[in-house]
Amino acid sequence: MKRRAALLVVGCALLLLGAVLVGPRLEGAQGQFIIWQLRVPRVLVGMLVGATLALVGAVFQALFQNPLATSDTVGTTAGATVGALFALAIDSSRTVQGLPLVTVCAFAGALAASLLVASFASSRSAHSSDVLLAGIAVTLATSALASGIQYTADSRALFAATQWSLGQLPQVGYRGVLLLAPLCALSCALLLLLTRSLQAFALGEDLAHSQGVNVPRLRLLALALGSLGVASCVAWCGPIAFVGLVVPHLVRRLLGASYRVLLPMSLCVGAALLVTCDAFARLIVPGRELPVGIVTAALGAPTLVFLVARGRR
Amino acid sequence: MSELEFVDLSVKLGERTLLDRVTLRVAPGEFVALIGPNGAGKTTLLKAALGLRAPSAGSVRLANASLAELDARSRAARIAWLPQHIRAEEPLSGLESVAAARYRFRESHAESRRAAERALARVGASQYAERRVTELSGGERQRVAFACLVAQEADILLFDEPANHLDPAQQLDIYRLLGELWREGRSVLCINHDVNLLHQVGNAARVRVVGLRAGRLVFEAPLDAAALPEHIGDLFGVETESLQGSAQRFILPRARGAS
């Protein structure tokens, strides 16, 4: 098992390195610029986003005791979408403190939706399934709001909204990396500290309670930290499908369900997977970039079906 | 050693009364068997003892403190629970599952694993240590859950029909184990559907049988009491017959009016 985990880490590192190097041949000063000013920061953003989405997916699957839970489940992504649409409908080029208005509004929307769900979660009597339902309700309500905004928006805003909703790694340079890194690192590091209580959750929420886990506090902490991480990612990149869903299942299949392995390995595999998908997105159509969200969805869906089919055998 | 006390405890679910002014004390080192028809409120009583059901009136006291005042870890140090159903959807190994039950201890993972190995050996489940709980049968899973309870090292043990769905040999063995834990000085509150199995724990005179119906306590008697068959008959609305075996008395139900 340890050897497998080590192999997987090495594989992830190779994929990350490969993602920086693949592409048209680069020479001279221009090549240096493309590698160090464009590709490396983009790979770093991809690593942060992929790692965070995958880890939060694994944590939420444990927390809700539901294999279909992801970072989108508690309304974070839907909230971000409403925020982004709102900003695009007003003015897509405006900035706040040097940040795109879209990013700021998406972040605020994501946090607002998550807060709504978290307020349910902190109730002592709520069961995890209630929180899951609350997440679905908030997602549906915000989607209705999003449709309302789209209905009133002009065609340029609609086009921008569609682009945004496909999900892609933005060209944000090192400044973007520096903005994203502390939020993602904080969220992931603190989530990893919850490993032991999440492990106790594996045999059931009530049993974990009887074993000394403070369930309402755990739920609130995991939701708040997870939402913070996901909100930062979605604000920059838009919704990127399937990473949070598929990666934990993939790791679980390869290395078992012990959260002491599953959580850190989801982090590694999530980072490598998203960056690799992004490299594909850069190269698959020559001279044009696809949004990475399309690639993750196209690869993620069959992978999930494959994993489920293998699991049934 | 801790004492568990239900004081005038009522629990409501909406309009329905699940428990109606129940007063019951489980003293340190005591064995209390809780019997009653389905829906009598037995599981609710155990859940109330764990803080999983909030009282609508009255209180649950644990070691002379109100249950609500205890933090989760100190509660877990005093009281542990073997639920009727174990969720086993995560492909965790038996050993990892039992190690996770050591949550209340502030110790390293290696220490948790060693304690888990001891607990699994104690309940005769060492062979499931490396197997995934998702692949275990109901009875095997029950053993692993039993090891979780042992690994938690609490003073008071709550059991919810521990022999449910087990074959006769396993049933006897589970109750023998329960008796062992009791004789080491722990208190036990055990929901049970077959009083005859209770003899496996030993010392029938010290086993208190408590009957619960429609949320109320209706009788209390030692396991060897002469009046117990009649109490049980009234509790379930059946006739009972007593047969003296070589080692114990058997109480058997019979439909009312049948001859």
Distance from CA of A122 to the nearest CA of B (A): 15
Largest CA distance in chain B: 63
Higher pLDDT: A25 or B198? It is B198
Which of B47, B52, B76 comes nearest A211 by C-beta? B76
Task: Give dist(CA A18, CA A218) in Å, integer.
Answer: 38
Q: Report CA-CA distances (Å) from B249 to A69, B112, B195, B226, B252.
A: 53, 42, 10, 10, 10
pLDDT at residue number A59: 94
**Residue A150 to residue A43: CA distance in whole angstroms:** 32
pLDDT at residue B259 in the model: 57
Residue B125, pLDDT score? 93
Enter the tokens of residue B139: 């009875």
> Which residue is closest to A217 within chain B, CA to CA?
B72
Instruction: Tell me whether residue A2 is exposed, middle or buried, using C-beta atoms within 10 angstroms of its C-beta: 0 to 12, 13 to 18, 19 or more.
Output: exposed
Chain-chain contact of B100 with A211 (C-beta, under 8 angstroms): yes
Question: In chain A, what residues touch B44 (CB-CB under 8 Å)?
Answer: none
pLDDT digits (tens, 9 = 90+) for A163-172: 888 888 887 8
Which residues of chain B make contact with A262, given a CB cutoff of 8 A?
A: none
Three-class SS of residue B59? Answer: strand
The mean pLDDT of A124-130, rounded to a whole number, is 75
Determine the Cα–Cα distance for residues A69 and A64; give it in Å rounded to an integer. 7
Interface test with A, best of B43, B60, B103 (most A CBs within 10 A): B103
pLDDT at A312: 55
Q: Which helix (H) or strand (E) holds A99?
A: strand A99-100
Interface check B70 vs A, CB under 8 A: no
> Residue A273: pLDDT above 90?
yes
Strand order in the sheet with B57-62: B16-26, B4-13, B57-62, B65-66
Select the CATH number that applies to the domain covering A38-312 from these four: 3.40.190.290, 1.10.3720.10, 1.10.3470.10, 3.30.413.10: 1.10.3470.10
The pLDDT of residue B105 is: 96
pLDDT mean across residues, chain A:
87
Residues of A in contact with B84 (CB under 8 A): none
Q: Per-residue pLDDT averaged across A215-234, rounded?
A: 90
Work out the end-to-end distance of chain A between its first and last CA atoms, rounded to an integer number of angstroms: 21
CB A106, CB A64: distance < 8 Å? no
Q: Are A50 and A170 in contact (CB under 8 A)?
A: no
Task: Give A211 to chain B, closest Cα distance, Å.
Answer: 5
Between A and B, how many residue pairs show a Cβ–Cβ distance under 8 A?
84
CA closest to A209 among chain B residues: B72
CA distance B73 to B181: 21
Residue A175: pLDDT over 60: yes
User: Residue B258: its pLDDT value, please?
Assistant: 63
Place A124 in a pLDDT band, splitting at 50, 70 and 90: low
Whether A3 shows a pLDDT value over 90: the answer reads no
Q: Which residues contact A122 (CB under 8 A, 6 or more apart)?
A: A216, A219, A220
pLDDT tier for residue B178 given thresholds of 50, 70 and 90: very high
CA distance A268 to chain B (A): 21
Mean pLDDT to the nearest integer, A46-73: 89
Confidence class for position B2, pLDDT limits 50, 70, 90: confident
Mean pLDDT of B101-112: 95
**Residue pointed to by tokens 């340029």:** A156
- B187-191 sheet: strands from edge to edge: B79-82, B156-160, B187-191, B31-35, B207-213, B216-222
Which among A2, A211, A248, A279 has a CA at the least distance from the CA of B90?
A: A248
Nearest CB partner across the interface for A203, out of B75, B86, B104: B86
- Cα–Cα distance, B154 to B145 (Å, whole number): 14
Q: B240 φ, ψ to 5°?
A: -130, 155
Cβ atoms A197, A221 nearer than 8 A:
no
Query: What does the pLDDT read at residue B255?
Result: 83
Q: How far apart are CA B180 and CA A31, in angstroms?
A: 75
**Average of pLDDT values for A96-115?**
86
Which pLDDT tens digit goes with each residue over A92-101?
677 777 788 8
- Residue B237 CB-half CA count within 13 A: 3
Task: Evaluate whether A138 touches A110 at the Cβ level (below 8 Å).
Answer: no
Q: CB-CB: which of B54, B76, B93 is closest to A212?
A: B76
Give the C-alpha distances (Å, rounded to integers) separating A289 from A103, A145, A156. Answer: 21, 30, 21
Boundaries of every domain in chain A: 38-312
Provide the pLDDT for residue A311. Answer: 65
Q: Over 80: is that where the pLDDT of B237 sits? A: yes
Using CB atoms and an 8 Å cut-off, which of residues 130-149 of chain B contact chain A?
132-133, 145, 148
Average pLDDT over residues A45-61: 94
Task: Report the pLDDT value the prediction gives residue B1, as an integer from 0 to 100.
Answer: 67
Alpha-carbon gap, residue B25 to A42, rounded angstroms? 65
Residue B72 has pLDDT above 60, yes or no: yes
**pLDDT at residue A304, as a whole number:** 81
The reported pTM is 0.91
Q: Alpha-carbon distance A30 to A23, whole Å?
A: 14
Q: Answer yes or no: is the ipTM higher than 0.85.
A: yes
* Each residue's pLDDT tens digit, A134-167: 888 898 998 899 888 888 888 888 888 888 888 8
Q: Do A212 and B91 touch (CB under 8 A)?
A: no
Nearest CA to B23 out of B48, B43, B2, B1 is that of B48
Do A178 and A236 form a contact (C-beta atoms < 8 A)? no
User: Over 80: is that where the pLDDT of A277 sits?
Assistant: yes
- pLDDT, position B189: 97
Closest Cα in chain B, distance from residue A208 (Å): 8
Cβ atoms A80, A239 nearer than 8 A: yes
- Given a contact cutoff of 8 angstroms between Cβ atoms, the answer to whether B201 and B178 are in contact is yes
> For the residues A256-264, what does the mean pLDDT come to?
90
What are chain B's domains? 4-87+155-254 (3.40.50.300)
pLDDT tier, B88 (very low <50, low <70, confident <90, very high otherwise): confident
* Candidates A199, A203, A252, A310, partner chain B, best to mutate (most B CBs within 10 A): A203
Shortest CB distance from A210 goes to which of B50, B71, B89? B50
Task: Give per-residue pLDDT as tens, A261-270.
Answer: 999 999 999 9
> Could you give phi then psi for residue B55, rounded to 5 degrees?
-70, 140
Residue A133, token pair as written in the block: 């339902």
How do strand B16-26 and strand B4-13 relate by DSSP bridges? antiparallel
Q: Examine the pLDDT at B110 and tell me if it is beyond 80.
A: yes
Residue type, A121: A
